[in-house]
Structure 1
Amino acid sequence: MATPVSDGVRADELALADRLGVALVRMNKMHACVAAHMSKSGLDKASFVLLANLDHLGPSRASALAEAVFSDPSTVSRQVSTLVKDGLVERRADPEDGRASVLAVTEAGSRLLSERREQRNMALARLFADWPTQEWDQFIRYFERFVGDYEKALPNFIAESGLGPRSEGEK
C-alpha cells in the first residue's frame, strides 16, 4: 500500500485525480463553446440553468433558487428579471405569504426546456451510438454517482478555494 502524500491521500490517488481534473477541464472548454452558441441564440447558459432548476424545483422564491444553483441572490434576481421579461418565468403571489412572490416557469419556458432537452438527448444518443448499451448504461450510473457526490462536495470546494463561505447549515 502506498504511503499518504497529504491529508491521507496517496500519490496514485492524486494521479487519478489529476487525470479526472484534466478531463473535466477539457469538458468545461467544450461546454463553454456550447454555452457561447446558446447565448447567440438568445438564452445564455446561466439563464438556462436557472430555468431548468426552477422547472425541477417547481414554484419557488428567488432565495431558494439561488441556493439551488449555488449563486448569490442578487445575481439570480438580475437573471430572473431577464427570464420574466422574455416570458419564460412569471412571478406569482406566494400562497404561504401573500406579501412575497414565487417564481414559476411559464408554458413558453416549459416548451423551450422540452425542445432543448429533446435536442440534447438526440445529440447524446448519436454520441453514444457506437457504445454497447451495457457500457453506456454503466458509464451513466458512474457519472450520475460522480455528479451527485460532486454536488454534495461543491460547497466545501468553494469554501476551501477561498471563493466564498460555507452556508450556515453546513458547518
Structure 2
Amino acid sequence: MPVEHAVAMELSTELIQLVKKIEAIRHHSPRVHSGLEPSSYPVFFALGRGPARVSALADRVHSDVSTVSRQVSNLVSHGLAAKVSDPDDGRAQRVALTEEGEALIQRLQDGRGRWIQQLLVDWDDAKARDFTRHLHEFIGQLSVELDQARAQGADLPEFPPATRKDAS
C-alpha cells in the first residue's frame, strides 16, 4: 500500500529541515585541515573507497568533471591526494589518497561517529539500527531515481508526474 500524500508531505518537510540543519552545522564546524574545503568533502570521502579517475569520482559524488577536477587539484596541492598511474591504462591517471589523506579520513569518521553517538544519547542500538536501515532504503530509492534520470538523459521533474492511479 503506497504512502499517503499527507505522510509524504510531512516526510518531505522533515527532510528539508534535516538538510538545512546539516548545512547550518557545517557552516559552524571548525576547519579540520587548511586544504580541505567543506565543498570537497564528498570527493575526499569518495576517495576513501579507493583510487579512481576524476570522471569516476564525478559519478560517485553526482557532480560534473570540471568541479571535481578543481577539488582534486586542491586536495593534491595540499598533500591529501596524489595522482597515480591507472594500472588498467598507463596513459590515464587515477587519484588516490595519500597517507595524510587516509589518516584525516579516519580522524573525521571517528569524530563523526562520536558526534552521532552524542546526538543519539537517548536512543538504544535497536532504534539507531532501525533508523539506519530505513535511511539506507530511502537513499537507495533516491539512487534509483537519479540513475533513471541519467539513463534517460533528462533532469528530474520539479514534482514527479502523477501515476495512473493518481490521475483517475
Corresponding residue for residue 41 of structure 2? 48
Residues 135-150 of structure 1 aligned to structure 2 (within 5 Å): 135-150=127-142
Aligned mate of 1:24, from 9, 15, 23: 15
Select between 77-86 and 148-157 the one with higher mean Cα deviation: 148-157
Tell me the TM-score normalized by structure 1: 0.79
Which residue does 1:6 correspond to in 2?
none
2:74 to 62, 82, 91: 82
How far 1:154 sits from its partner (Å)? 2.6
Residue ranges of structure 1 left out of the alignment (5+ in a row):
2-8, 163-171
- Of 149, 159, 167 in structure 1, the residue corresponding to residue 155 of structure 2 is 159
Aligned equivalent of 1:123: 115
Match of 1:169 in 2: none
Q: CA deviation at 1:160?
A: 2.0
Shift of 1:40: 4.3
The change in CA–CA distance for 1:148 and 1:132 in structure 2 (over 3 A counts) is same
Identity %: 35
Query: Bigger CA drift: 84-93 or 152-161?
Result: 152-161
Q: Could you tell me which runs of 5 or more consecutive residues in structure 2 were left unpaired when the two chains were aligned.
A: 159-168
101, 108, 115: which one aligns with 2:100: 108
Structure 1 residue 13 displacement after superposition: 2.4
Look up the match of 2:91.
Answer: 99
SS of the equivalent of 1:126 reads helix
Q: Which amino acid aligns with 1:83?
A: L
Match of 2:59 among 67, 71, 77: 67
Deviation at 1:130, TM superposition (A): 0.9
- Return the letter of the residue paired with 2:4: E
- Work out the CA distance in 1 between the residues paired with 2:38 and 2:143: 18
Give the conservation status (yes or no) of the 8 Å contact 1:90–1:106.
yes
Tell me how far 1:14 sits from its aligned partner: 2.1
- The alignment covers a number of residue pairs equal to 152
